Structure 1
């Protein structure tokens, strides 16, 4: 054990935990006093004790069971705001004080159990997706609620004074409470810029206590804690009495009505969500500062166990707190052992100096919470008003705050999420599901076709239109999508919908596809879908979904292709009238040299001389013809079959960039510039070639200069046409 503490002392976890305790414990006491004072002023000492218990139990258990290094957990502002509102509501129903305390005990336990469930079912990954405007409005509302609950205590007005009366009836103010609370707030604000040795909370508490005893020198009655409204006062419970009180609370559970317990569910769920958000928000900030990664679900289970245990023995629930965590980090803490040190040191501090806590000024604790509340107010959304693009997001923030202050935090969270969903749908509906629109004579397949076929496709290519879709195809976007496609339905023989960038498809969008298919079928036209994936980002099998919704159910008016290039290639074949040949069962006959386009006007004897110098070679399907890095000393004239060219993308990945077929050639670029091959050539089918090497070409240049010039011109022309076509396609894409 001595070695363990020595190690903690050396690593900084010891001092980090001590420093974090000095921040967390006073704030926890202030939160406890706030919550229990809402029942009656006489419950304030019990609230201070509840805050201490919460700091000890939550700080220790969350650190032991959680997995986030340096995280400090303690009673927090969201818990104080919700529990205070709950206590006020119960007090207005004239429930006895001990019943309200018991209900708050059950509320904390249920919230902890909900958090455990959140962790086990994996909700920890989802809470972080709550929209920023909702979180911002929620935190600001909690800050305002905290401030509103503390103003009367800061001003020293009599117990039971409403907020409006406390602010307007100056005769009720106690200038002594205002002086102590004002001094606490001033030092808490100004202390950190002046010194980093002590946290601002500690400086504020010390300043408030010093101010109080300075006033006591002028009024000796302030040296008494009995019947003194300016201080917390004695707890009025011993260790034995405390255990009896806890036992009595659990014994009194049988007196609660079922509707009272049922009414806790909604508040407990809200509290669990609040505490979970507060914890995970702190963890995310901690990850960013330390380049680490927390386990959200494990952390929620740990927080739930800690909150349930703390509430069961009379403490108030809490969460991972930003202030104490940052103090812990800046003090040199490295592991979650610092959280355990914080909990243990809070216990030691309470046992040794618990008697002194009775002298804590109520207005000093109120001042601390007001500063905490002010810091919780998110001023960032004020920038949203300056732009029409974000003014509606500001409206979400404002509505969350308004509903939280007038109705409640649970209603505020529901309204905020609902408004955020509406704004999301509005954004999706306002955008276009069409990313690009092309015709086949503007964007060809990777098949490099002969010049004669290219001219035909340039004339007939507008019979086929390509729509590259994006985003989510759902009920909000289908009407606009249909309006964009409808003008093409009457004029195009092929409509290709590329779904590579589609994130999700709902039943309404599937019905739209059925409408498009049927409209085209009336004209004997075709609907073609490409990139119909079996695993969308939302986990849905798109191919299976289209079958289930009847889009592809045995209809001849629709075809599916694995990628856009294969769909375009299929359409090109139809436009060229080659589909029957491509699907014929008889194998194609290898071309002779005279049948190839570049040699059709050469003399027979010249071609015979050339053919004698060419190498004939056969490659089986899948066989590598050449690889990247090999010497580019030959061009390949394709007599039969097809060849795929693959570019290297790095990391062992390749991409199919071109297809060459019967009558074409490839390998000309390296043949001309003498550089090594820049890609791989693979036989897609069994293929026959004439191969012309640079050595043989040199001999031909000496014997048949006109033929050599023809070969060079053919190479240059073909390469120029390919480059021109590629430039046109790139320019077309960049236009969008």
Structure 2
């Protein structure tokens, strides 16, 4: 007894949540089913009500069991009703018999479920969110208009076969009873949002329509008879052997369908699967935000697909995770997937056991509900696109999708929308600039700090080496633009560097263009230098491997791959300076007067300074100082190399930011401001250093003020030159 009590306490919220969700899902499912089947023939409305109940039952029972989202309620939904209604209307217009239409819709539902399962199993459920917004907006607006057009005759109580515009302009076709019932239903739904927050508008609307029907029936005896009454849904015919015979006969007929007929449904099934998947995942995302959870899109889509396939197999309507019923479920205390199962069970009990009551639901009331649903599906946000010339073409995509949906078909609307969106995307890509920045080596520098004489030579001859920093996508749409930017340099430059750090993708057309650039440069013995050639692009492609397969194989003369732009600039600098290799490691270490900081000074003035210096030998990999060290020493490089490693932005990893070689000094900032080190110094080639500590310098400053002044003056001058050069580079980067 205690275990039962504990279980009930844990799942009582699920029970009440599922029951409340059923009150929302059942009337809507019946309405959607009637809408679809009444589009085939008004006498099929009862089959539609049954299809809605069976669909809600199957989705409610199976989707929670196999899905991964707690509290999600799945049931027949507006997108399914819209697509199937439009599908039925098209077939009716082609003269297809009602029986055949029912069979095709059953197969369409099964194919839709199988496609959703495939999407989930393959793992591309997350890609559905990349369907362009103008396509979804235009599609839903078109579907909303189709719903409105299909429901207007039913709303007005017009005879079978009345077209929507006839129902609008010919009052003599109206049945005032149906008009009154539909009008009250729609008004109740619209006003319920303002005055009632706890009860869903669908329930309020149907109750208001049913009350209106009862009031009119009190005055009209013909409305109190079920048989032959075209104002209500009618008998469901779902009891016992009748239902078994119905499904058995339907499957016998499906077995006789030709493969070509089934194949012709693939396009519609893909469209319906995409819409139902979007509807489900949109509901899951909102549910995640409200409950601070995370759903599994692929598992959920596979479960929804299985439920839709089973629902269609037993004669029900397909559906999706629905927003209204899910939010009611959540607000009623549901905690787990058990609430969805409760919803499915209660739909079966209420819908089938109390089917006699469902039979009395007024068709005009359901039409009123769907008119409101159709109006709410129309997306008015794209109208804002007309306010700016830059977004008019985006609005044209929405308009084209709506027009295609209304006058051609929903499949054509999807195709038109996707094609136009691709064209707009290509327009934006082609219009964008793939050259982020153009500069020359004379304006930029590598991570090497070089003596003044070398810097002057680089400034003099650096404009013969051109750098293009590329960005975005290099594909057939931007290839010609890039070639036009490169062409003027191909006949004059001595070095051409193309930096690919910010390139997102490269196609074969762009790779072929780069091969052409290589061939033109090679005629002048000029290499094409490609820097930052990543092994993995955002699209998953190995860029280096792709370029090599396209013919851009590094060979040391025609094509060079450099790991970074700094490395490419360093390679070019060495050739401009005429120093192909690094400094000769066999040369003896520099003496104090040979170091750049003291060049031009009289040797005898440095004798006392030399006594304050410590000679230190370092091996490759030795750390001279680290980030945060209270090291205020000044280091002079007699031979070898030292790399400075620092943090960039908030990245905790250290990056190479400078290299000091023979004759240079480093550590000057901490020597002047006595603050902790902001970077690390690591020996990259066996080095001999002179080290001047702050303590020794203070003693020197007391005894030999002239020498101390000379040192500080030279140090400040060199740091100022470095700062000026850095400032010029920052200005260049900012201007571009």
Normalised to the residue count of structure 2, the TM-score between the two structures is 0.96
SS at match of 2:437: strand
Match of 1:679 in 2: 679
Question: Cα distance, 1:555 vs. partner?
Answer: 6.2
Residue 157 of structure 1 contacts residue 173 of structure 1 at CA under 8 Å; is this kept in 2? yes
- Which of 8, 11, 15 matches 1:6? 8
The C-alpha deviation readout for 1:332-368, integer Å capped at 9, x for no partner, is: 3333322222212212222442211111000000111
Give RMSD over aligned pairs.
Answer: 1.9
Match of 1:613 in 2: 612
Match of 2:85 in 1: 84
Alpha-carbon separation, structure 1, partners of 2:620 and 2:252: 82
Count of matched residue pairs: 733
Match of 2:553 in 1: 552
SS at match of 1:128: helix
Match of 2:442 in 1: 441
Residue 470 of structure 1 contacts residue 499 of structure 1 at CA under 8 Å; is this kept in 2? yes
Measured at CA, do residues 573 and 257 of structure 1 come closer, stay the same or move farther in structure 2, by a change above 3 Å? closer
1:729 aligns with 2:691: no
Question: Cα distance, 1:59 vs. partner?
Answer: 1.7
Residue 36 of structure 2 contacts residue 85 of structure 2 at CA under 8 Å; is this kept in 1? yes
Match of 1:238 in 2: 239
SS at match of 2:232: coil
Question: Cα distance, 1:4 vs. partner?
Answer: 7.2
Measured at CA, do residues 274 and 665 of structure 1 come closer, stay the same or move farther in structure 2, by a change above 3 Å? same
Residue 112 of structure 1 contacts residue 272 of structure 1 at CA under 8 Å; is this kept in 2? yes
Alpha-carbon separation, structure 2, partners of 1:152 and 1:32: 17
> Which range moved further: 282-291 or 345-354?
282-291
Question: Cα distance, 1:100 vs. partner?
Answer: 2.7
What does 1:276-315 align with in structure 2 at a 5 Å threshold? Answer: 276-315=277-316
Alpha-carbon separation, structure 2, partners of 1:327 and 1:19: 7
The C-alpha deviation readout for 1:562-608, integer Å capped at 9, x for no partner, is: 011111111111122222455x6x53431111211222333333333
Residue 598 of structure 1 contacts residue 710 of structure 1 at CA under 8 Å; is this kept in 2? no
Alpha-carbon separation, structure 1, partners of 2:554 and 2:712: 52
Question: Cα distance, 1:178 vs. partner?
Answer: 0.8
Match of 1:719 in 2: 719
Question: Cα distance, 1:247 vs. partner?
Answer: 1.8
Measured at CA, do residues 519 and 579 of structure 1 come closer, stay the same or move farther in structure 2, by a change above 3 Å? same
1:109 aligns with 2:102: no
Question: Cα distance, 1:523 vs. partner?
Answer: 2.6
Alpha-carbon separation, structure 2, partners of 1:501 and 1:291: 35
> Which range moved further: 493-502 or 114-123?
114-123
Question: Cα distance, 1:402 vs. partner?
Answer: 0.7
What does 1:481-492 align with in structure 2 at a 5 Å threshold? Answer: 481-492=482-493
Match of 1:189 in 2: 190
Match of 2:696 in 1: 696
Question: Cα distance, 1:672 vs. partner?
Answer: 0.9
Alpha-carbon separation, structure 2, partners of 1:354 and 1:581: 91
1:530 aligns with 2:531: yes
The C-alpha deviation readout for 1:364-420, integer Å capped at 9, x for no partner, is: 001111111111111111111111111111111111111111111111111111111
Alpha-carbon separation, structure 2, partners of 1:238 and 1:135: 40
Question: Cα distance, 1:9 vs. partner?
Answer: 4.6
SS at match of 1:632: coil
Residue 77 of structure 1 contacts residue 146 of structure 1 at CA under 8 Å; is this kept in 2? no
Alpha-carbon separation, structure 2, partners of 1:52 and 1:246: 15
Match of 1:466 in 2: 467
Measured at CA, do residues 330 and 500 of structure 1 come closer, stay the same or move farther in structure 2, by a change above 3 Å? same
Normalised to the residue count of structure 1, the TM-score between the two structures is 0.96
Match of 2:69 in 1: 68
Alpha-carbon separation, structure 1, partners of 2:509 and 2:651: 41
Question: Cα distance, 1:331 vs. partner?
Answer: 3.1
> Which range moved further: 451-460 or 384-393?
451-460
Alpha-carbon separation, structure 2, partners of 1:388 and 1:538: 32
Match of 2:128 in 1: 127
Structure 1, gaps ≥5 residues long? none
Alpha-carbon separation, structure 2, partners of 1:215 and 1:60: 38
Match of 1:660 in 2: 660
Question: Cα distance, 1:537 vs. partner?
Answer: 1.0
The C-alpha deviation readout for 1:155-208, integer Å capped at 9, x for no partner, is: 000112222222222101011111111111111111122122211111111111
Alpha-carbon separation, structure 2, partners of 1:270 and 1:295: 22
SS at match of 1:256: coil
Alpha-carbon separation, structure 1, partners of 2:238 and 2:518: 79
Alpha-carbon separation, structure 1, partners of 2:104 and 2:10: 40
1:390 aligns with 2:381: no
The C-alpha deviation readout for 1:666-713, integer Å capped at 9, x for no partner, is: 011111111121111111111110101112212322343222111101
Residue 554 of structure 2 contacts residue 561 of structure 2 at CA under 8 Å; is this kept in 1? no
